[in-house]
Structure 1
Amino acid sequence: MEKAVAREVAKRQNTVQVDYKTYNPQPDLAPLVKFYWTLNVPFDPNNQKQKIIPDGCIEMTFNLGDKIKRYISENEFILHPNAMVMGQRTKSYYILPVGNVDTIAICFYPHGFANFVNTPLEKLVDKEVPVAELFGQLAANTLEQQIIQAIDTQERIELIEAFLLRKLNDKATISNIVKSTVDTLLKTNGSTAIKVISEDNLSKRRLLERHFKKQIGISPKQLSKVIRLQATLQMLLNQKSETLTEIAYENEYFDQNHFIKDFKEFIGITPKELLGNENFALSALFYK
């Protein structure tokens, strides 16, 4: 039954004219930048709200198309800034473009963005912050105008990388304790317990919590949950396991109930309710 519903979702997605591409960063930025992505979607008056799921990453986005609504309640919304940084997310949210979508973005590893700003990242959690607030009005406006005037994606990426490298050379790199923890969580898809990473040492765990709040924005436990959720979504949407029980087992959840509880905490619905839900067509695209 689950596979039949998943096939129907895929069939619906194939009818939408969506152009989503990813690009690798240059070697000097690869430890900090996961990838760059572009998204182009022509306006369709029948478009549905799309639910965006936390992914454990911080993104800087430049909107070259029409405005995008972010809903703060069932009917109330705010408009995304055209150049913004999206902080760590602890919950899902809905967006809806008001016209054509034309976006380029930088997806940073969880530990990556702290290398470029002095602002404690806990201040960015569940927020969209204009680039100018973090990098200064002149630098932000100059970069945004250069990106708008660039002739193609490759030139835009070169401009972004030149900007990031200048910022990277301005300040010290991230603390080793945070980076090693993030590396462990990424390698194990979030399944390694934080008490294991901190060697069951309460003082070390508290130190880790403080560093994470400043340099990642959320706690180690929250990040591990998000990373593990990403792995389960990948399996669920690409039909890589026959049952939800198998998905829970392969991602080292204690049991299926634990899996469903974490799923509902971040997404708001059960895994079965996700399949076939039109509001997740955009999020599902990123896992294909």
Structure 2
Amino acid sequence: MKYIEYTPCLELGTYIHSFWELKGEGSDHQWERIFPDGCPGIVLNLGDTCKTDSGASSMDYGKTYIVGAMNTFKDTFIDRNTRLLGVCFKPAMFSSFFNYASQHELTNQTVEFGTRYAFDMGKLHQSPAPYLNSFFLDRRKTIHPLLQSVLKDIHGCNGDVNIFEVARRNYITVRQLERHFKAHIGLSPKEYAKIIRFQSALTMMNANHPRKLSAIAFDCGFYDQSHLTNEIKKYTGYTPAQL
């Protein structure tokens, strides 16, 4: 399997994490597991039909799909004829390009995009990154300033935050904040913060000089090592030793 990430142009850096391309190779015939990161995405299938959502959904050639934010893992089947292009949006940024359903309706889902949002498959085959840069530059809309402030607070503490305190600092009630999160991110503020904390712990575990789980649990704000282990199982389906 060959996986490449492309950095979006500078003007899109606030909106989009990356463009990516995945191509299957001769020996590929396996399920690949994806962990939640709080980000929605778009996937364009330029290869054979591809099973995803742990086999519950399929992505057909020439079609475009929305992938909602996840609060659990999912598996996608990769073989030698797989070719996928993707866009990984930053949290709450999908609605800066598309008028679509509430993100809460898309959580953990892979949904076919309507033809009104069609991409030019010919240009995607030839030069995906330049075409995607141009496509999204033409569609940019206003950023949600309140959510950006809240997200900055959550990421600044690597997810180890009190949502009531975050709401207070941003002059909004928790109930209002939950409505904004579900509409634009697809997760509750609490669930989103837990995913960011999990990702922070995962980064520490995958570092060149990994530390003891108990130390990582302490630094990331988990109650203890057992709490961290349970969160890892929830979001990956694996124990720490299996990662």
List runs of 5+ in structure 2 lacking aligned partners. none
* Correspondence 1:32-111 to 2 at 5 A: 32-44=15-27, 47-72=29-54, 77-81=56-60, 82-111=63-92
Q: Using a 3 Å threshold, how does the CA distance of structure 1 residues 138 and 175 change in structure 2: closer, same or farther?
A: closer
1:255 to 221, 224, 229: 224
CA distance in 2, matches of 1:165, 1:71: 30
Q: Which amino acid is the alignment partner of residue 144 of structure 2?
A: S
Q: Distance in 2 between matches of 1:247 and 1:239?
A: 14
Taking structure 1 as reference, are residues 260 and 62 closer, same or farther at Cα in structure 2, changes over 3 Å only? same
Q: Secondary structure at the match of 2:12?
A: coil
Q: How does 1:127-166 map to 2 (within 5 A)?
A: 127-132=109-114, 137-140=115-118, 142-148=119-125, 150=126, 155-166=127-138
Structure 1 residues 156 and 50 mapped into 2: Cα distance closer, same or farther (>3 Å)? closer
Q: CA RMSD in A?
A: 2.3
Q: Does the aligned pair in 1 maintain the 2:23–2:80 contact within 8 Å? A: no
- Tell me the CA shift for residue 197 of structure 1: 0.7
CA contact (8 A) 1:67 1:98 kept: no
Contact 1:198 1:204 in 2 (8 A): yes
The 1:251/1:239 distance shift into structure 2, 3 A limit, reads farther
Describe the SS at the equivalent of 1:245: helix
Contact 1:41 1:102 in 2 (8 A): yes
* Percent of pairs with identical residues: 28
- Larger displacement relative to structure 2 (189-198 or 106-115): 189-198
Using the size of structure 1 for normalisation, the TM-score is 0.75
Gapped regions of structure 1 (runs ≥ 5): 1-17, 276-288
* C-alpha distance 139-80 of structure 1, shift in aligned 2 (>3 A): closer
Larger % of helix: which?
A: 1
